[in-house]
Structure 1
Amino acid sequence: MKHFLFFSVLIFILTSCSEAPYYEQVYSFDNNEWKQDQKSVFKVNIDDTTSVYRFVLTLRTTTDYDYSNTWLFWTSETPLNEKVREPFELKIANPDGSWIGKSSGTIVENQLTFAGRKITVPGEYIFTIEQAVTEKKLNDVLDIGLSVYKE
């Protein structure tokens, strides 16, 4: 009984100590449609230039999503108004149709992680995410979120 209680407490402590994000925001899409002209804007105030950060972009789709991937544009704007726009591919399913990300019921969650990022200028950073496929809208996309962690 003592071992069971010890392991129960240990499991509770380990699972309750999950890392809290420095910043977290999620945007849901109406009718589960990500339209081509729809942009998700994340404004992150970063004052600590001594830390290293990890940025995690999370896209949640349903299991009815028609494609094995999606393309997106990530625009970063610094406090000095410098902008960089980059395309990224987010793989959602393997060639055999199995899901790459975490799936639970009818929801599939996929992530892009950018670790080890050093911020040299303090202030507000603006990250804009847009879908970059040729379709006017992507169906069965639930939401997109950005989490920032101090490493």
Structure 2
Amino acid sequence: MLLGSCTDPGAIVDTNTQIADHNWSYVNRAKFDCKIDDEKAAYNLYFNLRVTDAYKYSNLFVLIHQKNPNGYIKTTRYELKLASKDGQWLGKGSGNLYSYQVPFQSGFKFPVKGTYHFEIEQNMRDNPLHEVSDVGIRVEKVK
């Protein structure tokens, strides 16, 4: 299920996918498309995440697969810090959910115009990874 929340005029894409039963498996990649009309502009790319307060780790490793319009796929592994060393959540809390918007590429220039496809895969040892509510992506033009 896609949840769109693109009310910010600076965002090209800002959308999330709900994770069924809060159990994110390796094969359940979150998939997003982003149409780029200006390859000369710089963009900031963010990883969106919501976890419950029962999530048992202070971090999250993900693989982000980015496919350009020419079919080239680039995969990069990222570590997202979710809690401080003393166990305090770093995200914005609402009820039992904590929300994060973590930059993973700043000032990025897409090489060509067209539609880019992103897939986000959890890369932790647990499969499925419990207590992950939503995963998403945000792409915005640098102002």
Question: Which TM bucket (shorter chain)?
Answer: 0.7 to 0.9
C-alpha root-mean-square deviation of aligned residues, in Å? Answer: 1.6
Contact conserved, 2:50 with 2:132, CA < 8 A, in 1?
yes
Q: Which runs of 5+ in 2 are unaligned?
A: 1-7
CA distance in 2, matches of 1:77, 1:35: 21
Find the residue that maps to 1:31 and give its secondary structure: helix
**What secondary structure does 1:22 align onto?**
strand
| Aligned counterpart, 1:47 | 37
Aligned with residue 64 of structure 1, among 30, 43, 54: 54
TM-score when normalising by structure 1: 0.83
Conserved? CA contact 1:90–1:110, under 8 Å: no
Return the offset for 1:20.
4.0
Distance 2:78 2:111 in 1: 23
Which of 80, 99, 103 is equivalent to 1:109?
99
Q: Which runs of 5+ in 1 are unaligned?
A: 1-17
Deviation at 1:120, TM superposition (A): 2.4
Question: CA offsets, 1:19-77, max 9 Å, x none?
Answer: 54111221001111111211011111112112211111111001111111111101111
CA distance in 2, matches of 1:83, 1:56: 18
Native 8 Å contact 1:60 1:107 kept in 2: yes
Asked if the contact 1:90/1:111 (under 8 Å) is kept, the reply is no
- In structure 2, C-alpha distance between the alignment counterparts of 1:30 and 1:149, rounded to whole Å: 27
- Fraction of identical pairs, as percent: 31
Report the equivalent of 1:36.
Answer: 26
Q: Which has more radius of gyration?
A: 1
- Alpha-carbon distance in structure 1 between the residues aligned to 2:124 and 2:12: 31
Instruction: For residue 11 of structure 2, give the secondary structure of its aligned residue in structure 1.
Output: coil
The equivalent of 1:27 in structure 2 is 17
TM-score between the two structures when normalised by the length of structure 2: 0.88
Tell me the residue number matched to 2:64: 74
Which consecutive segments of 4 or more residues in structure 1 shift more than 6 A?
A: none
